[in-house]
Structure formats: structure tokens, C-alpha cells
Amino acid sequence: MSSVNISVVGAGSAVFSMRLVSDICKSPGLSGSHITLMDKDEERLHTVSVLARKLASELKFPLEFSTTTNLTEAVKGADFVINTALVGGHAFLDEMRKIGEKHGYYRGIDSQEFNMVSDYYTLTNWNQLGFMLQLARMIEASSPRTWLLIAANPVFEGTTLLTRQTCARVVGFCHGHMLVDEICKTIGFDIERVDWQIAGVNHGVWLNKFRLNGHSAHNKILEGFSESDSFKPTNPFDDTFSPAAKTMLDFYGLMPVGDTARNSTWAFHYDEETKKKWYGEPWGGVDSPEGWKWYTDMLASVVKMLKELALLLEADSATSLKQVYSHAYSSLPGGLREDARKFFDPDALSGEQHIPFINAIVNDEATRLVVNTPNTGIIPQLPEDIAVEVPALVDSDGIHPEEIDPPLPDRIVKWYLLPRIMRMEWALEAFLKKDPSLIVEILLRDPRTRSYEQAVSVVKEIFTVTEE
Amino acid sequence: MSSVNISVVGAGSAVFSMRLVSDICKSPGLSGSHITLMDKDEERLHTVSVLARKLASELKFPLEFSTTTNLTEAVKGADFVINTALVGGHAFLDEMRKIGEKHGYYRGIDSQEFNMVSDYYTLTNWNQLGFMLQLARMIEASSPRTWLLIAANPVFEGTTLLTRQTCARVVGFCHGHMLVDEICKTIGFDIERVDWQIAGVNHGVWLNKFRLNGHSAHNKILEGFSESDSFKPTNPFDDTFSPAAKTMLDFYGLMPVGDTARNSTWAFHYDEETKKKWYGEPWGGVDSPEGWKWYTDMLASVVKMLKELALLLEADSATSLKQVYSHAYSSLPGGLREDARKFFDPDALSGEQHIPFINAIVNDEATRLVVNTPNTGIIPQLPEDIAVEVPALVDSDGIHPEEIDPPLPDRIVKWYLLPRIMRMEWALEAFLKKDPSLIVEILLRDPRTRSYEQAVSVVKEIFTVTEE
């Protein structure tokens, strides 16, 4: 099958879009596909359009591109819609966080028990959930065969919401499971030789299976941890072997994977000092004020750099993207340097799962991926109508989740997942009913609340602002 | 059937025991029964023995009494065992509360979201849960036909625990549902003409049905509420029409019944000032320091009074219990005066459900009671293996729960009962595993905790104390 139509909604996220394009260029079965880049921000859309076309051209892969600022146009005729849009952008997140902090909610009201990830807004960003729902309904109305791939947060709430409210084919993706590879590398394992599984809900996934040569190798993971005092993260995201992760492993009995270590109780998050203790100096993890600034500064510098790159390429069509891109990226932190290298390595995929998913479906190439998909008994201790994050084999027949074996322990179900799921239900009900009084009620159960009036006043200010 | 053997464990609770005896004396079908009064406190046991015998004698009802300090003896041959024992007594509760407050846990660590009742200890009083379990196992081993009636708190955790861990016939009782009568009286309804139901878990029950002449009369309840500012409780327990209850009614959509109004989030309980706002001046409800002192002072004065009464009766067998008891009680608050009147009114039962339950079973007199019993689908939205509090018809075949109609709304299930049930599960796991680290984890989710160390230190002190 050729000429698959893939639309990227929120394509202005240039790094993400380029990863997708790079991955397509290494998928022979997707040769001749048509990529529609859609974003409301014309300037960023232009930048990514220039870069993406150049990338495909230098990788010598036949692709067609079009750009649009119109969502209907992006959805029309698409076989796959990848949504990475963050409605309101980081500016909105910052504004909400600021109002929250003004009323005594450190890190904003969206930071919640088991959901401390700083761009995973479940309470205030109704526009984000609303946009996801609108998109799914457009797809549902347009074609029952079109897949919607959710890349934007909140993946757990979003995937659950869309699979409950629409008949669209929805699947959610996240990077968290990639940290299994980091675990392996740290303890000297080759992940290809390891039999592993993770299971849970997005940003709350646990390494239920970790076997080498048929034997459990869970104990070997302990060797990855250093003494608490000597934990020195290389960047704010480097928390896989943090004291927080170790304490969670001790209590829950399994290794938390990826963003899970960020999502604990408030015990690791009360303030900067606490965060530094659990996630290491100097940042205290990426969800601290300093850690988040590191991340958003880096994002901003990448956006700026890519815009300059695009201008350069437009001015001189003889310029090599490979050369200037790799050069520009060499000034960035390690993870991003690696990213640039991969683009031009014919054997390396970016790590994003969207294109492998599309390729598996289109070309019936059975591929193991970690997906967010309706539970329907995959994790039998959890409700059936929520999205779980589990490994699955994907082929032209769709998603075939693996049997979770061994099953998740009761400790994780009762003490982590069910409380997290409860909060998802509260957030979705508030969103669906557009009822700020439910947000007040959520805050009345929040450790940062000191009075009824405090909860009422922050909600009043936030929902007056967002209604404008 | 005559000569039923009824044992009261913890019979030193003299008022409770006398209510039971008084109720038996008004149940002709229980004539000739044998009552075993068991308590570890010989002095209190003696007091209650004197009073109970005298009461039966003055009510001219043929009963046999025996007393024992030995549990095995009390269980042996019993058809019904009523357990009202509070292991450690109020002194233990006070000590735990004091340690908690020393570490920054206002009202002690057992005061928890949806469980603020000050003698409903689920976290620290493992001896209480342990005693209940021991008793149920003794009964299980002694006779499969013996009923264990749980009157002691925590009824929810206790009934759930015992029905899960043993095969004993277990049922739990509480007074909460009696407040439906108060609701009716306040708005001028005759409860006999009202078609009502409550449902939930103990201390978390809701008036799902309230009909007069076939029509919902829920709206009439609103007439019972005065303006917040003018709410003036007559005693600390008088919270049925408190601002707290009104706010809960508004949010949850149904009237909270009985102790439910005490069991909210911390929003009503942060401190004395907050409590007074929601439960009225001057006490701020019964779970405030002042309110609880009012209650325990009253209990102490009743204990003292009853002891003096018993001495008086022993010194002069011609003295009439009816006379001196009624006289002594006239100095006590209204609720207790009413209690004394009922004892000697041949048509009035005490309101405790234990004897009506026994009578219904023994004499096949179908009786409507509110019981704590395994869910098994009665409230379909809740797990099957927890004890729910619902109305049931009781006869010689046992407990026949009513169909809960209309069903409990999602709001109550998702925002109140499931969070409460989650905490029950945590508490029972901690108890069954005897694992203080689980209590630490519970406290890490507690709004009063300000640091990991705080939770660890309070648990360390408490569990060192209780192990001694």
C-alpha cells in the first residue's frame, strides 16, 4: 500500500514533526505517503515545512507534503491523524500555575497526587480535552477507518475520554517505556536479550516482567542505584535511579518506569528542598521550578534554532540540513545531540512509536509497541473502560495487547493505580459537566488547601480567566 | 423458642447493656433467655450485673443472668454474641490522639478524610481489630450457627474484616439511621408514613429514598435547615441540619444521615474555628476537642452515677431502680433523659437494633432493620466483598437486604464511597500484615503531613508504644 495520508496536528512542534518525518523516511513501506502538516501558528508551520521537506529530500525518500492551518482540511482524507497540539501552549500552563501559586498551590492546582508532570494538566485545561474531543468527533464523522494517534498530554485522561465518548479508533503514545532501555544499559544488560513488560496507566507504569535467560532479573536492577547522597542526575529528567524511584521500588515492589518516578505523593514534592532530596541536586527533578525552567528554556532555544535553520535553508538551497542541523545540535545537551544523529542514521528510528504503529497497520508488519488502549480485561484488577498502558503487537488487524504476566501486584493496584484512576474520573467528570464546583471539591481533598475559601477563590480566578 | 443464650462482650458499657436488657424485657418471644455479661473490668461488670438484674426484675421479665471475665466462657454455648468492647478503652484513644497531635496531626492520625469520628480508630488500634477477629474465630470454631453482632467501632472495617477472614455469621449495627426519624420530626413528618431507605457504608450513609404518598419528599428536607449563621446545635451531636450537612447535601445530591455529616473532607475540620463554622457554636461538633470532651465527660459522669446507683441498690434491695434511675438521669442532657424514660415504658424500645435482630431470627418475626452486611451486589457500583449499611428484612432465614431503589448516584459512589472504601482497604492491609510502613504511606497522603520524616516519626512513636 502506498500513498498513505498522515496528518500531524500541532505540527509546529518542530522536533517532534521532524522525528516523524525521519522515521517515515526509514519505512520503505510508507514510500510515497502524503504528509499534511497542520498548525495554527503559521510561522512555526512554515519553519517545520521547510525543515521536513529538506529532511525527506536529503534522506532521498519520496514523500509529498502539504501544510494547512485548517483542522478540517487536515482531517479530510487522512488515514492517520497524529495529534501533538497543546492548546494554549506553555503560556497557558504558566498562567494557570501562577494563579495557583498565588493562592497557595505550589506548582499550580494541576499538580496532583500521582500527577506531578508539569505539562499534564487535567483540571484547568478544559480547552485541551475539548480540542481532543472535537478532533475525535471530526474523525469519527469523516471516516470510521481513520486512526487518531494521541501524542499530547494528558494521554491517560485524553485516551480514556475519547474511547468513551466517540467511536473513533484511538491510541495513545508516550515515551516512558523507553526508560526500560536505560535501566538495561545502566546495569549492563542488552535489552534485546531481556524479556520485559510494563503495565499500568500512562505515567504510572511498572516493570512487571524483567527476565534474562528465563529467570527474573529484578534484583539486578538494584545495582543501578547509588547511595542516596551520591545521586547526581545528568539532567532534570534523569530520575530513573533517583532516591524517589528507589523508595517507590521498595514500597510498591516493582520498578517505576519513565515518568512514573515523577508521579508520587506530595512526600517527594512539598518544596524545592524536598524535591532536591528525592530527585537530586541541582534541579530537584524536572517538575521543580528550576527543572522546568531548564526544560522550557531548552525548548525555546530549539524553537529559535530551528527557525534560524529554516531561514538559512530557504536563503541557500545548496545548504545541507544534515551539516547545519548536526552542527547546531552539538551545542545542546546529550539527549538532543543523540536525536540529531539519529535523523541521518539510516538504521536508527527516533524512538517515537507513531510511525512504527502506522507502518505495522499499513504494511501488516507485526511490531511490538507500548500503547495506551482501552483496558477490556488486560489488567483484570482495573476497570474495563479506562485506557491502560501496555505492550501490544500491532499489525493490520489492529492492536493485540499482551497478556500481562506476572500480573500487577495488589500493592500497585490498591495504593497507586486505583487512587490515580479515581482522580482521572473526577477530572473527566468536571470537564464533561464543565463544573468548576467539582474542581473546588478536588481541591478540598488536596494537601495544600488550608481552607474552604482558598479552594473557592483559586477556582473562581482560574475559571473566570479561562472563560474569557 | 425459649432459653436463647445471649452473650454481651464488653458488657461493662452499662448504658448499652441496660438498653439491651430493657429491650429483651419487651420481647415476649425471648422470655427465659440466658444473658451472659462479660467484661474484663470486674468492677464495671459488677455494676452492670446489679443494674441489669434489677431492671429485669422490675420489668417482671423472666431472664437468667451470669457474669464472667472470661471470653471463652462467654462464647461457649452462646446463640448470639454482641460485641461492644473497645480494647484499650478511651484511654488508649486519648494516648494515640496525643502522640499524633505532638507530631502535628490535629485530632490524631486516625482522624482521616471521610472518617473523623473520634472513637473510630482504623490505623492505630490493631488490638481492637485483632480482638474482633479473635472473637469471630472463637465463634467460628465453637458453633457455625452462632451470630456475632458487632456494636463496637470501627463497624465498617470490623464487619468487612470478619466476613472476609472467617465463616462466622457476622452483622454490624450502628445508630446512624435513627436520624431519619429526626429529619422527619424536624420537618413535621411522621416517619411511619414515610417510605425511606438509606444506603452506603457505616458512617457514610445517604437517604436515597424519602417518599410521602408515593412522591419524593427530598425537597421538604431543605425546610429543616436554617441560615448558616443562625444554626445553634443543642448538643455536639446535633449536626443533622448543620451547615456541614447542607453543603454535603448540595454537593452529593442526597441527605447525609447520622454520623455521615461528621465524615467529610478536612475542609470542615482543619481547626476549631473551622469546625465551629460548619458544626455550630459553641462546640464545633462532637469531634472537636470541646465536643469530644463534652461527650467523654458525660460518659464518665454516667459511669460514676451508675456505679453509685448499683451501690445504693445493693445496700437496700427495696429501693426502686425506676425511681432512682429516672431521678439520676433527670440531671443529664435531653437525649439521656429520654433514654431513662424508655427503659420503663413498656411500649418503647431503646433504638438499639441488636435485640430486635435476635428476636426476628429466633421467633421468625420479620423485622426491618438497618444492618452492616456483605454487599454481594446490593449496591452494585461497589465491590462485593465489603460490608455495606442498608435496610433489610430479618427473619429466621437470616438477612434479606432490600433492593436499593433508587440506586445511589454516581456522585456519592465516585466522590465519597470509593475513596472511603480505598482507605478501609489500606487500613485492613496494614492491620493484617502488621506493617507500620503502610501507616506511614497512608500518612504520606494525609493533608496534615509536611514531610516524609514527620510521618515516619509519628508512626515510630505510636508503634513502639503499642508494641509494649
CA A366 to chain centre: 23
In chain B, the number of structural domains is: 1
Residue A122 vs residues A262, A373, A429, B401: alpha-carbon distances, Å:
16, 19, 11, 40
Look at A295-309, A326-340, B318-332 and tell me which has the smallest mean pLDDT: A326-340
Residues A258-284: tens digit of each pLDDT: 999 999 999 999 999 999 999 999 999
pLDDT score of B1: 47
Averaged over A191-204, what is the pLDDT? Answer: 97
* Mutation for testing the A interface, residue in B421, B450, B459 having most A CBs under 10 Å: B450
Q: Which stretches of chain B sit within 8 Å of chain A by CB?
A: 113, 251, 265-268, 270, 274, 414-415, 418-419, 422, 425-426, 429, 437, 441, 444-447, 449-452, 455
A82, A149 Cβ separation under 8 angstroms: yes
- Read off the pLDDT band of A466 (50, 70, 90): confident
Give A445→chain B minimum CA distance, Å.
Answer: 6
Nearest to B270 among A251, A266, A451 (CB): A451
Q: Say if the Cβ atoms of A441 and B270 lie within 8 Å.
A: no
Distance CA(B4)–CA(B64), nearest Å, equals 10
Nearest to B441 among A113, A274, A415 (CB): A415
Q: Say if the Cβ atoms of B414 and A425 lie within 8 Å.
A: yes
- Read off the pLDDT band of A334 (50, 70, 90): low
Is residue A175 annotated as a catalytic residue, yes or no?
Answer: yes
C-alpha torsion B119→B123→B124→B129, nearest 10: 80
Nearest to A265 among B270, B274, B444 (CB): B444
| Angle (deg, nearest 10), helices A42-58 and A14-25 | 20
Q: Say if the Cβ atoms of B274 and A451 lie within 8 Å.
A: yes
- The active-site residue, picked from B175, B181, B218, B446, is B175
pLDDT score of B346: 86
For residue B302, give the C-alpha cell: 454516667
Report yes or no for ipTM above 0.90: yes
Distance CA(B174)–CA(B202), nearest Å, equals 7
Give A385→chain B minimum CA distance, Å.
Answer: 14
Q: For A431, phi and psi rounded to 5 degrees?
A: -65, -50
Q: Which helix (H) or strand (E) holds B7?
A: strand B5-9
Averaged over A441-448, what is the pLDDT? Answer: 97
B85, B47 Cβ separation under 8 angstroms: no
Residues A201-250: tens digit of each pLDDT: 999 999 999 999 999 999 999 999 987 678 999 999 999 999 999 999 99
Distance CA(A177)–CA(A391), nearest Å, equals 9
N-term to C-term CA, chain A: 47
Distance CA(B282)–CA(B297), nearest Å, equals 16
* B114 located within any domain: no
Q: Quick one: three-class SS letters along chain A?
A: CCCCEEEEECCCCHHHHHHHHHHHHCCHHHCCCEEEEECCCHHHHHHHHHHHHHHHHHCCCCCEEEEECCHHHHHCCCCEEEECCCCCHHHHHHHHHHHHHHCCCCCCCCCECCECCCCCCCCCCHHHHHHHHHHHHHHHHHCCCCEEEECCCCHHHHHHHHHHHCCCEEEECCCHHHHHHHHHHHCCCCHHHEEEEEEEECCEEEEEEEEECCEECHHHHHHHCCCHHHCCCCCCCCCCCCHHHHHHHHHHCCCEEHHHHHCCCHHHCCCHHHHHHHHCCCCCCCCCHHHHHHHHHHHHHHHHHHHHHHHHHHHCCCCCHHHHHHHHHCCCCHHHHHHHHHHHCCCCCCCCCHHHHHHHHHHCCCEEEEEEEECCCCCCCCCCCCEEEEEEEEECCEEEECCCCCCCCHHHHHHHHHHHHHHHHHHHHHHHHCCHHHHHHHHHCCCCCCCHHHHHHHHHHHHHHHHC
For residue A279, give the C-alpha cell: 530527585
The DSSP output letter for B450 is -
For residue B189, give the C-alpha cell: 413528618
3-state secondary structure at position B280: coil
Distance CA(A147)–CA(A132), nearest Å, equals 13
Residues of chain A in contact with residue B426, where contact means CB-CB under 8 angstroms, are: 414-415
* Mutation for testing the B interface, residue in A441, A457, A458 having most B CBs under 10 Å: A441
- Burial code of B11-20, b = ≥16 C-beta within 10 A, e = fewer? bbbbbbbbbb
Torsion sign (Cα): B212, B216, B218, B221: negative
Domain that holds residue A214: 178-287
* A280 located within any domain: yes
One digit per residue, the tens of pLDDT, for chain B of length 468 reads 458 999 999 999 989 999 999 999 999 999 999 999 999 999 999 999 999 999 999 999 999 999 999 999 999 999 999 999 999 999 999 999 999 999 999 999 999 999 999 999 999 999 999 999 999 999 999 999 999 999 999 999 999 999 999 999 999 999 999 999 999 999 999 999 999 999 999 999 999 999 999 999 999 999 999 876 789 999 999 999 999 999 999 999 999 999 999 999 999 999 999 999 999 999 999 999 999 999 999 999 989 999 999 999 999 989 998 888 878 777 776 667 777 788 888 889 999 999 999 999 999 999 999 999 999 999 999 999 999 999 999 999 999 999 999 999 999 999 999 999 999 999 999 999 999 999 999 999 999 999 999 999 999 999 988 765
- The active-site residue, picked from B259, B269, B287, B339, is B259
Distance CA(A91)–CA(A112), nearest Å, equals 20
Q: Hunting for cell 517505576 — which residue is that?
A: A256
Give A114→chain B minimum CA distance, Å.
Answer: 10
Q: Say if the Cβ atoms of A444 and B270 lie within 8 Å.
A: no
- Read off the pLDDT band of A329 (50, 70, 90): confident
Question: Per DSSP, what are the bridge partners of residue B253?
Answer: none
- Burial label for B346, CB within 10 Å (0-12, 13-18, 19+), is exposed
Q: Say if the Cβ atoms of B452 and A267 lie within 8 Å.
A: yes
* A239 located within any domain: yes
Give A258→chain B minimum CA distance, Å.
Answer: 22
Say how many CA atoms lie within 13 Å of B314 toward its Cβ: 13
- Burial label for B461, CB within 10 Å (0-12, 13-18, 19+), is middle
A424, A395 Cβ separation under 8 angstroms: no
Q: Who's near A332: CB < 8 A, 6+ residues apart?
A: A298, A301, A302
Q: Say if the Cβ atoms of B414 and A422 lie within 8 Å.
A: yes
Is residue B316 annotated as a catalytic residue, yes or no?
Answer: no
* B93 located within any domain: no
- The active-site residue, picked from A90, A175, A364, A446, is A175
CA A65 to chain centre: 25
| Angle (deg, nearest 10), helices B418-433 and A418-433 | 170
3-state secondary structure at position B343: helix
In this structure, the strands spanning A367-374 and B367-374 are: unpaired
Q: Say if the Cβ atoms of A447 and B451 lie within 8 Å.
A: no
Distance CA(B375)–CA(B285), nearest Å, equals 31
Whole-prediction pTM: 0.95
Q: Who's near A250: CB < 8 A, 6+ residues apart?
A: none
pLDDT score of B216: 95
pLDDT score of A148: 98
Give A159→chain B minimum CA distance, Å.
Answer: 20
For residue A232, give the C-alpha cell: 547526581
* B221 located within any domain: yes
* A20 located within any domain: no
B239, B161 Cβ separation under 8 angstroms: no
Nearest to B270 among A265, A270, A450 (CB): A450
Query: Is the previous residue joined to B447 through a cis bond, with omega within 30 degrees of 0?
Result: no
Q: Hunting for cell 461492644 — which residue is that?
A: B84
* B235 located within any domain: yes
* A210 located within any domain: yes
Torsion sign (Cα): B224, B230, B235, B238: positive
- Read off the pLDDT band of A177 (50, 70, 90): very high
Residue B433 vs residues A43, A98, A163, B438, B439: alpha-carbon distances, Å:
60, 43, 39, 9, 11
